Amino acid sequence: MLVAFSVSPQGTGESVAPAVAKAVKVVRDSGLPHRTDAMFTTIEGEWDEVMAVVKAATEAAGEGAGRVSLVLKADIRPGVTGALDGKVEALEQELDRL
């Protein structure tokens, strides 16, 4: 499965970069395939392991905050692996045909 998520503490000031960095570090330390862009971090793995990382990342980002916002989108396809890169590669192939 792929899970794209964005986590942001509330009430900690204008910049959320320090808190988001804590969340991304949790993801990187997990060892799961992942990608971070300007808006979301996407993780690939099995349900329980991905959700455990999302939970830990949310908790890390929320340290010192009274409230945390979490946006999550999942693509659940049992037995499929390599989708983190495979979906982008399929898109690029289609673009090359245009």
Q: Which residues pair with 67 in a beta bridge?
A: 10
pLDDT of residue 72: 97
pLDDT of residue 56: 98
Instruction: Tell me how far the alpha carbon of residue 66 is from its chain's centroid.
Output: 22
pLDDT of residue 14: 78
Neighbours of 16 (CB within 10 A): 17
pLDDT of residue 66: 86
pLDDT of residue 45: 96
pLDDT along the chain (98 residues), means of 10: 95 85 97 96 97 98 92 94 93 95
Instruction: Tell me how far the alpha carbon of residue 29 is from its chain's centroid.
Output: 13
Residues 6+ apart with CB under 8 A from 83: 2, 44, 75, 77
User: Is residue 96 exposed (0-12), middle (13-18) or buried (19+ Cβ within 10 Å)?
Assistant: exposed
pLDDT of residue 12: 75
pLDDT of residue 9: 92
Q: Which residues pair with 7 in a beta bridge?
A: 70
pLDDT of residue 11: 80
